A and B are shown apart, each in its own frame.
Chain A
Amino acid sequence: MAPTLHALSVAVEAGKRNDAKQLTQTLLTEGMQPLDIVEKGLVPGMSAIGERFKNNEVFVPEMLIAARAMKESMGLLEPLLASAGIKPRHTIIIGTVAGDQHDIGKNLVSMMLKGANFGVVDLGVNVPAAKFVDAARTHSAPVVALSSLLTTTMPAMRDAVVALRAAGLPSLKIMVGGAPVTADFAREIGADGYSSDAASAVDLARKLVGE
């Protein structure tokens, strides 16, 4: 592998955002294809930190710092990917449910998914159930991911699941997460999957799209 690509993976894993941005720029200048930079530079870095997280070798603060470094790199790559018409195989709709304005956890999941080469449509925070339904339809997304950070907005998560189930999208899968959410709650509201952290959210998403 090109030494610069490896350096990019290392920079992302270590959360060095200035390095990540510079190395991405260097690779582009050298003529490397944006998709290759994602697949061979960013994906290995993010999956390495995801693995270390699952093994309790790093924790949420380091994940956040790494995800921000990746975001810097993606900021350069995404416009190029879009203009070249390159679309990831699977697109996931993600958002924080109605009444809840917290986005740090959701943004981390979103970055981890991008780091696993998923396409992500981030609807932001305080997202009404109908907006999830519209987006799932518009993007023909196989998965919708719902986040809730407050015990008091968990009912809105249930509402979103009900609305998505009523939308007539038989193959749609719904995954849920967020600090107060539990596997029991996910089952109770009829979600297809629950993940307790951003690293296992990637595994769950892969499972739900049948990879």
Chain B
Amino acid sequence: MTARLLLRLADGPVRELPVAPADTQHDLATLLTQAGLPLNTRCAGHGWCRGCTVTLGTERVRACKTRFAAVGDSVVGIPNPAHLSAAPSVGATFDIDTPFTLAPPFPIVPGHSDTAFAVDIGTTTVAVLLVDLLDGRILSRAGAFNAQLRFGDNVLTRIGACHDPARLRDLRAALVDDTLPTLLAKAAARAERPLSRLCGGSIAANTTMLHLLLGIDPTPMGAAPYTPAFLESRTLSATALGLHGCPPAIPIQLLPGFSAFVGADLAAGVHATGLCFDEKPSLLVDIGTNGEMVLHHEGRLLGCATAAGPAFEGSGLLSGTRAHSGAVCALRIQSSTTVTPGTPPQALFSLETIGTTPPSSASGLCGTAYIDFLAEGRRAGLLTPSGRFSRAFLDTLPPDCLARTPHGIALSLSALLAPASEPAPSLGSPSPNTAHGAPSALLIGEQDLASLLQAKAAIAAGLGLLLDEAGLQPRDIGRLYLAGGFGMHLNLANALAIGLLPGFSADQLRVVGNTSLAGALLACLDSSALPAMEASRSLMHIVGLSSHQDFENRFIDALELP
């Protein structure tokens, strides 16, 4: 008899998954990935995170650490947050602030070979656009999760995986055989233009992604002194890159980077923002798992990367999730100063979600909503400066909105939702939650708040040290360009209120979107762009933070909420 696994997706019907005899020694996460149901194995199946937590009867277990043999006849329940969601929110829009001329570096034959692609390969998401080189018009955009995610959610896990050469090949294949061709095909379909009209392309990415794209061993970047195999720009044919589906001989340009952790995505951003042309000193800040920053001052560039950890991507938080359709992206506390006796406490929070999912069925909270929670919670007196729930405030709330977790107390937002924040149910396609069943309550725990404060402090400390190195104060900065998807959806007033960018004011901030993709686009449009980026490398000095003697002090200073 063939073995089988009993599965239930949220509260859907029980399904049977046949398991071949050769596969019975696998763990559940591996089996489900093979069956086309990839789970959120963000720690690469090491058992360090809770991303792939599934239920086994009444028990909650990590799918990556549960062998098929241990399951027996139990039904494996897969809750929504355990899925590697298929619909990420990918930033593919941007501002270009630098002057350029339409003088593409690729040979063009109008109507036949006149289109280029620009790509930004992020550790989490990949964005692609097609551009008409005759008039510089963007034809279409497409975005998706990086298929490498199943090998780990951060660059270090993926670098570590490459000690096994087979895994390096897998990681490369995830890009050249999966994510990139899929996105190019999608973009081509949207543009109604065949990929045969491509005459070139440009790719921006962090240094690790560029190594993996070329199948070059990144392991020396995993430990100090973090030595990359290459940083300079490279141009190679589609065939040499292993990219199928487009004309084999077309040139593809890989943008140059500054260091192992301040990569071509930042070089692209420096170019696209035109920050080198600003009269006053300016800053480019990209907040993700690493906060990367570049300061331009008196013709020099100073750069650093600060390990913020994955909290802003929702990882390791009770109800945290990446930014995707169905996630809560913004949050407000109704009573703006303190709780007033007349206000029903049930109406404390109003939530906004990405897409059409009503807040009551949201799948989780993404980083921007947590920033709102810290700011609004502090403003309303719900949070203390050390990021704890005010016991006096909690006493005003109904007891059923508090939960005890193994890591301290947690507040249930779901129990305190404002009815007004509920939009009319959409009549279109079913939301993710009606498809997957009832969502679990949205919880924020004190342990979550502690993780978020540490992520915030890492960014704030990095920024402070970079300014110190240049002998500058925040007020000396003309513009702070906030790049990346996180910056795009951030409530800036709240980000400032929690001290993420200490000393800066709203009029200095400029949200510029995916400047990595913008830089890749400029490298397709203007043949002077790539040489300019290459030249910027010699202006750069990288500041190593983890070994910097003032980092710890600044980090601790930045932990509290203002």
How long is the Cα–Cα vector from A73 to B407 in the complex, in angstroms? Answer: 31
Whether A152 lies near B224 (C-beta < 8 A) is: no
Interface contact B48-A61, CB-CB below 8 Å: no
Q: Do A150 and B386 have beta carbons less than 8 Å apart?
A: no
A100–B544 alpha-carbon span in the complex (Å): 12
Closest CB in chain B relative to A62 CB, distance in Å: 6
- Contact with A180, one of B48, B450, B553, B559 (Cβ below 8 angstroms): B48
Q: Does B219 contact A (CB under 8 A)?
A: yes
For A150, list chain B residues within 8 Å (CB).
Answer: 156, 222-223
Q: Is the CB of B224 within 8 A of A99?
A: yes
* Contact of B559 with A65 in the complex, beta carbons under 8 Å: yes
The residue in chain B whose Cβ has the minimal distance to the Cβ of A17 is B556
* CB pairs A–B below 8 angstroms (25 shown): A56-B407, A56-B408, A56-B409, A56-B447, A59-B408, A59-B446, A59-B447, A61-B387, A61-B454, A61-B457, A64-B555, A65-B559, A65-B560, A68-B553, A101-B544, A102-B307, A103-B546, A104-B555, A125-B546, A150-B222, A151-B46, A152-B219, A152-B223, A154-B160, A182-B48
Any A CB within 8 A of the CB of B121:
no
Complex interface: chain A residues within 8 A of B446 (CB): 56, 59
Interface size of B in residues (CB-CB distance below 8 Å): 36
Contact with A along B136-165 (1 / 0, CB 8 A): 000000000000000000001101100100
- B416 is an interface residue with CB less than 8 A from chain A: no
Chain B residues with CB under 8 A of A104:
551-552, 555
A209 to B387, CA, bound (A): 36
Contact A62 B386 (CB under 8 A): yes
B219 — which chain A residues lie within 8 A by C-beta? 152
> Please, how many angstroms separate the alpha-carbon atoms of A49 and B235 in the complex?
57
Q: Kindly state the separation between the CA atoms of A60 and B446 in the bound complex, as whole angstroms.
A: 11
Is B247 interfacial (CB 8 A cutoff)? no
Q: B223, B450, B553: which contacts A156 (Cβ < 8 A)?
A: B223
Which residues of B lie under 8 Å from residue A9 when comparing CB positions? none
* Cβ-defined contact, B159 with A152, below 8 A: yes
B559 with A64: CB separation less than 8 A: yes
On chain B, the residues within 8 Å of A98 by CB distance are 223
- In whole angstroms, how far apart are the Cα atoms of A107 and B560 in the complex? 19
Report chain A residues within 8 Å CB of B387.
59, 61
Q: Which residues in A have their C-beta under 8 angstroms from that of B447?
A: 56, 59
A interface bracket (residues with beta carbon within 8 Å of B) = 20 to 34
* Cβ of A57 under 8 Å from chain B: yes
Q: Interface readout for A103-114 with B: 1 if CB under 8 Å, 0 if not?
A: 110010000000
Distance in angstroms from B149 CB to nearest chain A CB is: 16
Distance in Å: Cβ of B66 to nearest Cβ of chain A:
15
**Chain A residues within an 8 Å CB radius of B160:** 151-152, 154
Bound Cα distance A60, B448 (Å): 11
Residue of A nearest to B446 (CB): A59
B409 neighbours in A (Cβ, 8 Å): 56
Please tell me if the beta carbons of B156 and A151 are within 8 angstroms of each other in the complex: yes
- A136 vs B44: C-alpha distance when bound (angstroms): 35
Query: Which B438-465 residues sit within 8 Å CB-CB of chain A?
Result: 446-447, 449-450, 453-454, 457
Contact with A along B518-544 (1 / 0, CB 8 A): 000000000000000000000000001
Is the Cβ of B556 less than 8 Å from the Cβ of A152? no
Q: Which residues of B have CB within 8 Å of A200? A: none
**Which B residues form the contact surface with A (CB < 8 A)?**
46-48, 156-157, 159-160, 163, 219, 222-224, 307, 386-387, 406-409, 446-447, 449-450, 453-454, 457, 544, 546-547, 551-553, 555-556, 559-560
Instruction: Tell me, rounded to whole Å, the shortest Cβ–Cβ distance linking B353 to chain A.
Output: 28
A125: chain B residues within 8 A (beta carbon): 546-547
User: Cβ of A61 and Cβ of B450 under 8 Å apart?
Assistant: yes
Say yes or no for A126: interface residue by CB 8 A criterion. Answer: yes
Min CB–CB distance B298 → chain A (angstroms): 28
- Which residues of B sit under 8 angstroms from A56, Cβ to Cβ? 406-409, 446-447
Chain A residues near B553: list those with CB within 8 A: 68
Which of B160, B224, B409, B544 is packed against the most chain A CB atoms within 10 Å? B224
With most chain A CB atoms within 10 A of its CB, the pick from B47, B157, B223, B547 is B223
Beyond A68-B556, A101-B224, A182-B46, 16 extra complex contacts between A and B, CB < 8 Å = A56-B409, A57-B408, A59-B387, A59-B450, A61-B450, A61-B457, A61-B559, A64-B556, A68-B553, A99-B223, A107-B552, A125-B546, A150-B222, A152-B159, A152-B219, A182-B47
CB interface residues, A 74-114, toward B, < 8 Å: 98-104, 107
Q: Shortest distance in angstroms between A97's beta carbon and chain B's nearest beta carbon? A: 9
Contact with B along A171-183 (1 / 0, CB 8 A): 0000000001010
Q: Report A92-148 residues with CB < 8 Å from chain B CB.
A: 98-104, 107, 125-126
CB <8 Å contact, B546 and A101: yes
In the complex, how many angstroms separate the beta carbon of B28 from the nearest chain A beta carbon? Answer: 18
User: Which residues does chain B contribute within 8 Å of A156, judged by CB atoms?
Assistant: 223
Is A153 positioned at the interface, with any CB of B under 8 Å from its CB? yes
Structural contact, B453 and A61, CB atoms closer than 8 A: yes
State how many angstroms separate the Cβ of B39 from the closest Cβ of chain A.
20
A179 to chain B, nearest CB (A): 8
CA distance A33 to B47 in the complex (A): 49
Instruction: Kindly report which residue of chain B lies nearest to residue A124, judged by CB atoms.
Output: B547
Neighbouring A residues of B551 by C-beta, 8 Å: 104
State in angstroms the CA–CA spacing of A55 and B453 once bound together: 20
User: Are the C-beta atoms of A60 and B454 separated by less than 8 Å?
Assistant: yes
In the docked arrangement, what's the CA distance between A62 and B409, Å?
16
User: Could you say which residues of chain B place their CB within 8 Å of the CB of A153?
Assistant: 222-223
In the complex the two chains form, what is the Cα distance from A99 to B556 in whole Å?
Answer: 24
Question: Which residue of B is nearest A60, CB measured?
Answer: B450
Do B157 and A151 touch across chains, with their CB atoms under 8 A apart? yes
Instruction: Say whether, besides A103-B552, A125-B546, A125-B547, A61 and B224 are in contact (CB < 8 Å).
Output: no
Which chain A residue has the least Cβ–Cβ distance from B44?
A151
Q: Are B222 and A152 in contact, with the CB atoms below 8 A?
A: yes
Give the nearest-CB partner of B559 in chain A.
A61
A100 to B222, CA, bound (A): 9
Q: Are A152 and B453 in contact (CB under 8 A)?
A: no
Indicate if the CB atoms of A99 and B222 lie closer than 8 Å: yes
Q: Which of A101, A107, A180 contacts B547 (CB 8 A)?
A: A101
Residue of B nearest to A68 (CB): B556
Which B residues are CB-close (under 8 A) to A155?
A: 163
Note all chain B residues with C-beta closer than 8 A to A62.
386
- With both beta carbons as reference points, the residue of chain A lying nearest to B548 in the complex is identified as A101
Pick the most buried of A59, A102, A103: most chain B CB atoms within 10 A of its CB.
Answer: A59
B49 to chain A, nearest CB (A): 11
**In the complex, residue of chain A having the shortest beta-carbon distance to the beta carbon of B546:** A101
Of listed A56, A68, A156, A180, residue having the most chain B CB within 10 A: A56
Which residues does chain A contribute within 8 Å of B559, judged by CB atoms? Answer: 61, 64-65
Provide the residues of chain A in CB contact with B47, threshold 8 Å.
Answer: 182
A155 to B449, CA, bound (A): 31
For A126, give the chain B residue with the smallest CB separation: B224
